[in-house]
A and B are shown apart, each in its own frame.
Chain A
Amino acid sequence: MNRLLKKVDWINLLIPVVSVVLGLLCGAIIMLIIGYNPLLAYQSIVESIFLQPYYGGETIRAMIPLVLAGLAVAFAFRTGLFNIGVEGQLMAGWLASVACAIIFGHLPKVVLLPLSILAGGAAGALWGYIPGLLKAKFKVHEVISTIMMNYIALYSTAYIIKNFLYTEGERTPTIPHAASLASPFLANLTQGSRLHWGFIVAIIAVLAMWFILWKTPKGYELRAVGFSPDASKYAGMNVSRNIILSLTISGVFAGLGGAMEGLGTYQYMTINSAFTGIGFNGIAVALLGLNTPVGVLLSGALFAGLQTGGLTMQSVAGVPVELIQIIIALIIFFVGSGYVIKWALGRLSRKGHK
């Protein structure tokens, strides 16, 4: 165990922490330049999340799809694939779960709820399978194909809702109670937030990613392909099949994230003219979490907290909530520039020794 701990590269763990600190620091500098009080702004975020049950509940609620999206990106990353298509897979999952809930509305809850959640996961899987297949069979780069799949999902879901599941308010009808993850108990507990049982699904997903990748032979193969496709091929692994599998499982996570929004947060799906942003935030969550399940959980909590608390920041300190997006963007830049941070930390520690 001790030997294991020593093997952990502390500098690698420091990078996300340093990035977050630098990101928040830059945010503070921006606020100072414009003439806001950064201390008041950050204080309002922290106070609202930890002291007001409503915002606490909303933070956990926002965490659910963020963590699932983050897991989706991280899972594909482990196989050396960059899944920018979480956004589209999430929308596909969202629509499929809501559609399933409405179509089979007469079924009892024990059947309908799991069925609707699975429908979301399956739709996400399909949306991930296609880029996987294109990559494995035709060497189409997954970054381009998943971006294309995002837009195909955006326009097709809008079309399907408009023509088959339309109700007033540019959205689908509300799902039947038997398919809902919402809970009056959780809502009361958090003074009326939209917190729902989906957090259990998110926790199971975190455990599932860890189990699949680190406790099964298939997971070993997936990670091996991520480290070196050539070496894996030489060792007799089917690289193509692993690529398809990885993007499909990644799509399942994303689709579940969509199902959580459809069955939990909103109970319906609106006709989206633009992306939800959850999928793109998932990239930030995965990067900051170093593509590990626990890391994704922690960074998901951070970003969910920032976004929820950002609303209080806007009303208390008067800072536009877009500042949070700027801070998140800066954090991604810093994490991405890990090479420089490593170099700088190395310089600092060497100076310390002298």
Chain B
Amino acid sequence: MSLFEVLTIIIPSTLLTAAPLIFTSLGGVFSERSGVVNIGLEGLMAVGAFTAAISTLGLERAGLGDASPWIAILIAAVAGGIFSLIHAVVSISFRADQTVSGVALNFLAAGLTIFLVKMIFDGKGQTPYISHNIDKISIPGLSKIPFIGPIFFQQVTYTSYLAILVSVFVWFIIFKTPFGLRLRSVGEHPAAADTLGINVSRMRYIGVALSGVFGGIGGAVYLVTITSNYSVTTIAGQGFLALAALVFGKWHPIGAMGASLFFGFAQALSITSQQIPYLDRLPSVIMLTAPYVLTLIVLTGFVGRAEAPKADGVPYIKGQR
């Protein structure tokens, strides 16, 4: 097999697995930049995936056809946003430990979604498969470009490109707008932001809600492009992988996107390595654990120090120094 053929397998597969990670880790960027640690990304993805499954099935029945999964992603975004408010209330207003609240959020999401699946589908532990998922396609025009076309524009989904565009958009919001400046100031030095008249709690609520919206989208994209039905095992670690991407990407939107693509690449390699000469001799465990090992190495500072926002994880109490 030539290198070209290898690339036509790995790159589309990378783009596919990276898209949900990109969306979710961008959500993490919003939350943690505002100073709220979000271990609950996994749970938010679960809620998003569950909502996407249920609403796609409903919309299909209503006769919306190919539009169903796209509308379902939007509904999942709203559901994720609402669900994340639990984390916001508990960790911002009630001043609970943010890690504790995030862990509970994951518990709640896993329990609640399967509970509801059993309610809706007469005790079955998984939803039926959706019939209109977002398919892999060849992008008209672009896929005809010699060499580049078959690698980057065949067997891909639009959601992957959307994810990359959105991450540039998020970078713009966070680093080039007054809103972004306020969000970051609340995560770095809430007391200083407060004295300048920025409502710390409100900014943090917005940060967490946005992480819910993006986490919901991430879970929904995972469902409509990859798994097509929801069960206990649908979201098993994707959210924590997105969290790793967020840290690996140094809490920066473009960094998070790059890290997600890289983790997607590692996952794609672990799945396809059997078909690729030389790589088939490498134990798959190396590819599977690579994202986590590399994140640990990055955190040790050998490859440039990764610094979290200064007030990340610290509840803000007015008047306390």
Contacts and interface: CB of A to CB of B under 8 A. Distances in A.
A138 B298 CA distance: 11
A325 interface: yes
B39 interface: yes
A156 B107 contact: no
Given A320-B115, A322-B114, A329 B237 contact: no
A283 interface: yes
B293 A152 contact: yes
A50 interface: no
Interface in A151-179: 151-152, 154-156, 158-159, 163
A333 B285 contact: no
Contacts of B293: 148, 152
Contact of B240 (A147, A273, A322, A338): A147
Nearest to A335: B100
Given A155-B289, A323-B111, A329-B108, A82 B299 contact: no
A138 B300 contact: yes
B90 A333 contact: yes
B296 A339 contact: no
Given A274-B236, A320-B118, A330-B108, A151 B99 contact: no
Contact of A138 (B90, B104, B236, B301): B301
A325 B94 contact: no
B96 interface: yes
Interface residues of A, number: 46
A285 interface: no
Contacts of B94: 336-337, 339-340
Interface in A313-334: 320, 322-326, 328-330, 332-333
B100 A134 contact: no
A292 to B, nearest CB: 17
A140 interface: yes
Given A280-B106, A325-B111, A339-B95, A145 B296 contact: yes
* Chain B interface size range: 35 or more
Contacts of A325: 107-108, 110-111, 115
A145 B105 CA distance: 20
Given A34-B119, A134-B296, A159-B285, A332 B111 contact: no
Nearest to A281: B107
Interface in A41-67: none
A322 B237 contact: no
A96 to B, nearest CB: 17
Nearest to B110: A325
Given A148-B295, A152-B293, A322-B118, A134 B107 contact: no
Interface in A117-168: 134, 137-138, 140-141, 143-145, 147-152, 154-156, 158-159, 163
Given A151-B292, A156-B289, A329-B111, A336 B236 contact: no
Given A82-B99, A333-B86, A337-B96, A134 B233 contact: no
Contacts of B112: 322, 326
B74 interface: no
A71 interface: no
A287 interface: yes
Contacts of A340: 94
Interface string B255-288: 0000000000000000000000000000111001
Nearest to B107: A329
B99 A333 contact: no
Given A34-B119, A152-B292, A84 B99 contact: yes
A206 interface: no
Contacts of B90: 333, 336-337
B104 A148 contact: no
B123 interface: yes
Contacts of A336: 90, 94, 96-97, 100-101, 104
Given A148-B296, A274-B233, A326-B108, A159 B284 contact: yes
A91 interface: no
B233 A140 contact: no
Interface string B49-73: 0000000000000000000000000
Interface string B70-105: 000000000000000010001000111101110111
Given A151-B237, A320-B115, A325-B107, A339 B299 contact: no
Contacts of B247: 144
A254 interface: no
A269 interface: no
A143 B95 CA distance: 19
Contact of B300 (A140, A152, A320): A140
B114 A148 contact: no
A320 B114 contact: yes
A323 B117 CA distance: 12
A284 interface: yes
Contacts of A339: 94-96
B300 A156 contact: no
Interface string B281-315: 00111001101110110011100000010000000
18 contacts: A84-B39, A84-B99, A140-B300, A143-B39, A144-B244, A148-B295, A149-B292, A151-B240, A155-B288, A283-B100, A320-B118, A320-B119, A326-B115, A330-B108, A332-B100, A332-B104, A337-B96, A339-B96
Interface of B: 37, 39, 86, 90, 94-97, 99-101, 103-108, 110-112, 114-115, 118-119, 123, 232-233, 236-237, 240-241, 243-244, 247, 283-285, 288-289, 291-293, 295-296, 299-301, 308
Given A150-B240, A273-B236, 5 more contacts: A134-B296, A159-B285, A283-B103, A322-B118, A330-B108
